[in-house]
Structure formats: structure tokens, C-alpha cells
Structure 1
Amino acid sequence: MAELSGPRLYCCCKCRNQVALHDDVISKAFQGRNGRAFLFSHAMNYTVGPSEDRQLLTGLHTVADVRCSDCQEVLGWKYVRAYEETQKYKEGKFILEKSKIVKENW
């Protein structure tokens, strides 16, 4: 019988700080600055930069960069506000770029 391990996690690619749970992935079909990105409902062990308006592929959003709390690597961003009604579901959620995170406990 296999041993049960902890939850499947995503960690910072630089320092391996735990930043998100696999169970919090909403979608893997997002685009970040450097390629594919995942939309998460929650993140952990991060700091948030100042909010700014950015024109993204899906319209204008107010976002704030999300950094690893240990090494300060920019991992993605948090949606603060969506201006289009169809994009409101993103508010309060996180984009973490696939190239900036690694899997742990898989």
C-alpha cells in the first residue's frame, strides 16, 4: 500500500517556497508575460506590489504583481479589478506563470 503524502503544491522556481495548492487551480489556459500561466483561486507566501491598470488580452484590468515572499521573484499577478462584466470572475484571483513555478509532491 502506498504511503499518503501531503497535498500537491506549486513552489517558486528559484527558492522552492510553497506558493499555491494544485486544488486551487481554476484554469491552465491563461497567458502570462512569459508564456502559459495558471489561474488560481488562492495563493500563499507572497507579497503584492502596487496596483496598476494594464491592458491584457481580455481587456483592461487593475492588477498587482505577486512576488515570492522569500526571494522576491515575480511569479505573476493578482487581479484587483476587472472593468468588463464578463471578466469580473477574475477579481481577487491569481495568475502564476508556468515558467516561474514548479510542482512538489506529485
Structure 2
Amino acid sequence: MGEVIGPRLYCCCNCKNQVALHDDIVSKAFQGKHGRAFLFSHAMNVLVGPKEDRHLMTGLHTVADIYCSDCREVLGWKYERAFEEAQKYKEGKFILEKVKIVKDNW
């Protein structure tokens, strides 16, 4: 019998709290504050901070930093609003910075 394998996950780099599913990756071609980042359709076990307007590489967005719900490490941000029509697909999605997450169950 084969081993039962669960979903591939990403965890907080600091405390290993599960924060996202590999299957929820929308794009790996994003840039965060500290380098490469992934865009996820969903995130879990995160806290969403206050909204603020930021000028990012793709224009003005309203974003909110996201934190690990266990250790409060800043992991990335959530796109709350995109001001340009071409960027609207990001709304409600999450950026997780590659240096802030680790693979689990791979």
C-alpha cells in the first residue's frame, strides 16, 4: 500500500505555522519587500493588519500587511484594492514572501 500524502503546504519560516496551500498559488512572478514572492488566492492562520495605500511596482494599491497568527511574523500583504483596471485580479489575494515561508509535506 502506498503512503497517504496530504496537500503540499507553506509554513511560517519562524514557527512553522501552516499559512498556505501550494495549490492556491496564482503566480510565482511577484516581488516583495525582501525579494521574490508568490501570489496566493487564499491564506490561512494569518492576521490582517490595517489597510494603507502603497505605491508598488504595478501602481497604487490599498494593501494590508499579513502576520502569522502564532508568532506575529510579517509574511507579506493582502491586496484590498487595485486602482488600475488591469490590476483588479489581485484584489482579495495574498502576497507571501519566499524568504518568510518554508515548504512542508513535500
| TM-score (normalizing by structure 2) | 0.98
> Residue 14 of structure 2 aligns to a residue in which SS?
coil
Q: How big is the alpha-carbon RMSD for the aligned residues of Structure 1 and Structure 2?
A: 0.6
Residue 36 of structure 2 is aligned to residue 36 of structure 1 = yes
Matching of residues 24-103 of structure 1 within 5 Å: 24-103=24-103
> Residue 51 of structure 2 aligns to a residue in which SS?
strand
Residue 21 of structure 2 is aligned to residue 21 of structure 1 = yes
Deviation string for 1:43-99 (max 9, x for gaps)? Answer: 000001000000000000000000000000000000000000000000000000000
Deviation at 1:2, TM superposition (A): 3.5
Deviation at 1:23, TM superposition (A): 0.3
Where structure 2 has 5 or more consecutive residues not aligned to the other structure, the ranges are none
> Residue 86 of structure 1 aligns to a residue in which SS?
helix
User: How many Å separate the matches in 2 of 1:93 and 1:4?
Assistant: 30
Corresponding residue for 1:9?
9
User: How many Å separate the matches in 2 of 1:32 and 1:2?
Assistant: 39
Deviation at 1:6, TM superposition (A): 1.0
Aligned-pair identity in percent equals 79
User: How many Å separate the matches in 2 of 1:20 and 1:2?
Assistant: 25
User: How many Å separate the matches in 2 of 1:26 and 1:4?
Assistant: 26
